[in-house]
Structure 1
């Protein structure tokens, strides 16, 4: 048995103490959620991306660790041809795939892997398209099923994307998690064995960490990829110790059982700041927490009613009470760190008199709305039920009655995609510095069809402006186009943006090299322990 095979045959037997783990160069991360798959193409979950695309996989391009600039990754370079309709990517030679107990690659990365990774998502006749359910929510929600006309192998290390129309943000889109590059050879091997779903359960990528084992809702284990093209990670072992309760995560951090924790309760911030063994890594998230109105339910079809409900919400109070000040009030879905800055959509202050006037104009009395709140904590929505309670209290001031429902997490995701809710609290994290990454998945007609657009709102004028913005390469002209689109959103109010979060990642003082990139998430390549 080869040394690498032996590494995968022998499972870890260490105690989950950060101090003990440090002796084995093991980093312990405690997230609040489990991944819903090990294929990022099939998910919109940040927990899934943290467990897969940010550790196991790479993409053709990546964002800088310090800002939103694009950098080469699996592609060394790219050319934009035919007026922005064709992109040719030259791949990095010699990039090694992972080896597992059940798979040994016979070749490095080549164009076939890129073609496979996108053909699976775009081609309904592809043998892998329907595997594991075949729902490619990012790919479809962003309209890529219509935008990408073909993905072709030009030669061993060159792949070409032909688009149906020019799309200025296209390279940035390829830096997103769903655009991770999978192994075509591994997929062929698993299909021949009659187990194609293994590709989505036991991931094989080119990233800094190799997947070893998943104990459902408990642990995920990884080892450093020895042949990683950027150099081997200084951390030899990586463990995700899944811990749903925020207070338990904090206690485990204080006790040294975790090095890094996810989604802390803002109420614990003072204690964290007072602890010399803990430091907080802060950044403003490129995200939005929002309340989506299902525009297909009878009581919410009238835009005047939706605007009234939005006007009644006190976002400043939500920032202080539910986020302990660790957020900024949102006036539109696009975060203030991206352009346009949203001035055209208003300042988001409550206006109870105008809300009552709009309800009266719409002839609405005794309105009742059920608000779905997610049962899990997210960086953009750490106390969803409390936010729902505050909205309910705000609506009572204008004569609207609200109930609150907290479904089980998987039911929340599944049922909201098919419109079983009336209104729901949710959020979005954009991994690229472009307004289209927020507006297309949250509000476009294609996203309404795929289920990612929880308001189920479709406006063809709005969609036309998005299309114009995607074709326009001049930044000022694009800003003007997106301002028009945001004005439509403000008038129609299919959703009401609530806040953009100020995130902080609590880490042990022994952790070095940890930073939160512009797109958010937890990336452990380059992290070390003192």
Structure 2
């Protein structure tokens, strides 16, 4: 009897002891080998994918959002919106029950509401608002698109309804509101920072409503996030721990991926693509890139202020050699300032033929002496549109030497590179773009419009005829009419040569075979909501 009494008891006790552990799922962690350190975590301040990946795609949401892996707009923090018949008023109906993140540096006392929308956009609209005065900063994307001028009124109708009034029709307004710069901040958190005298912490200790909660950042090393257990769309949070392992060297990223030290990695070198595709432990989805790598010419610097000089530099570039050496079969030669898959792309535009002798003649006509030196800036990081800026710069240096131009190659850390470029310090620079919203204005207006000369218009090119065309197109709801205007603008841009388009690259996304539901974004972002790891 003693045995029969004791043994069941021990078994039962054992079952009681192990059951909670047996049922509890092990935490799911995913390491992303990213290519560079973000400049900060306030999406409104920045324009690069490196910054957006680390903030907008993890910590924050927007009123409207793009469907994962596409450019279709879906509801976000707004469940729906109404547009007035004249196209000038947008009324957003806000999602209820959305919680801001709770961290060791902030604990919200209320849920998301209209006050947060007003704070987010008033900070970009009003330089005299207290928070903006306490923490002066610029919002280049917002101003590049002229939204600071076009939004004339922002009203709180009630706690869950806000209304935007525009000066002129903006055919891409809903798409623009889904872009990273429009990420919604917490007004309550901003008020706490303002009272504490630390408003700059909004850029270093972010608080949002997004699928991941910011935990820790070590520059040039790592960023750590926790899965948001209170996320309003719980099915999108399949990862408990998300780590960005900042790894600038592409070969090191690939080694880490093969060793399973990271499960997803950014931007493989073209030479690594075939070996990665052959590795059975990995998978390598790919798709044509909605991107453009190009040379920007600063038209405020001599001799680049002369269109003949820009024409000379343009026709002296041996693009095909660059495609072969830099992109190694993973790039398509670019002719226009947007990819061929963008609606309104003008197929009638052709490149000037590669002609060093003609280029020499143009430089002579412009009075440029042989041996004239210019700076050529080369990006320190890989981007979807340029897998090897250093090699590209060296090839351009060689091409331009053949026409008597000495190009001095310059580079800076990525954040500094962009900051100095915004300040107009460049002569010629390598840069590029991945489309953000599927609209032509995101290329022609954001990169070359007059409103963008202090932002992404690194060439500081402001052409009245071009600007008139793109602004008329943006204010026209009819897509056929918009297409015609954008085609005229593309011709004007090609004639004036503020840039030389080089390539559209194919985007490859290496990852471990057990990563589930990762979708390549046509907008050049790396998003981990909805992504999981299978056993």
Give the TM-score, by structure 1 length. Answer: 0.92
Counterpart check, 1:225 vs 2:228:
yes
Q: Which residue of 2 aligns with 1:342?
A: 346
1:312 and 1:351 in contact (8 A); partners too: yes
Q: Distance in 2 between matches of 1:313 and 1:342?
A: 22
CA distance in 2, matches of 1:349, 1:321: 20
Alignment-derived partner of residue 380 in structure 1: 385
Q: Does 1:454 align with 2:458?
A: yes
1:401 matched to 2:425: no
Structure 1 residue 68 corresponds to structure 2 residue 71: yes
Which structure 2 segments of 5+ residues have no match? 1-24
1: CA distance, partners of 2:214 / 2:412: 31
| Structure 1 Cα separation of the partners of residues 201 and 283 of structure 2 | 39
Residue 357 of structure 1 and its aligned partner are, at CA, apart by 4.1
What residue in structure 1 maps to residue 178 of structure 2?
175
User: Any idea what SS the aligned residue of 1:389 has?
Assistant: helix
User: Which residue does the alignment assign to 1:520?
Assistant: 524
Residues 1:77 and 2:71 are matched in the alignment: no
Residues 121 and 136, structure 1, Cα contact 8 Å, conserved in 2: yes
Q: Does 1:412 align with 2:414?
A: no
**Conserved? CA contact 2:49–2:524, under 8 Å:** no
Give the CA deviation at 1:82: 5.1
Instruction: Pick one of 323, 327, 330 that aligns with 1:319.
Output: 323
Q: Retained in 1: the 8 A contact 2:378–2:409?
A: yes
Gaps of 5+ in 1: 1-21
Question: Pick from 450, 467, 473: which aligns with 1:469?
Answer: 473
CA deviation map 1:473-530 (0-9, x unaligned): 1111111100111111101101111111211111011111111122121100111111
Q: Give the conservation status (yes or no) of the 8 Å contact 1:344–1:486.
A: no
Higher mean displacement: 175-184 or 199-208:
199-208
Tell me the SS of whatever aligns to 1:455: coil
Secondary structure, aligned partner of 2:130:
coil
> Structure 2 CA distance, aligned partners of 1:326 and 1:261?
17
CA distance in 2, matches of 1:515, 1:325: 23
Deviation of residue 364 (structure 1)?
A: 3.5
2:450 maps to 445
Cα separation, 2, equivalents of 1:317 and 1:496: 15
Paired positions, count: 508
Larger Rg: 2
Distance in 1 (CA, whole Å) between partners of 2:26 and 2:268 is 26
Sort the Cα spacing of 1:407 and 1:196 in 2 relative to 1 into closer, same or farther, 3 A. Answer: closer
Change in 2 beyond 3 A, CA 1:398/1:416: same
Q: List structure 1 runs of 4+ shifted beyond 4 angstroms.
A: 130-133
Q: Offset at 1:378?
A: 1.4
C-alpha displacement of 1:266? 1.6
Please, what TM-score do these two structures have when normalized by structure 2?
Answer: 0.91
Report if the CA contact (8 A) 2:295-2:431 is conserved: yes
Q: Is the 8 A contact 2:93 2:161 kept in 1?
A: yes
Residue 256 (structure 1) shift: 0.8
Q: Which moved more, 1:63-72 or 1:318-327?
A: 63-72
Provide the rounded CA distance (Å) in 1 between the counterparts of 2:353 and 2:328: 18
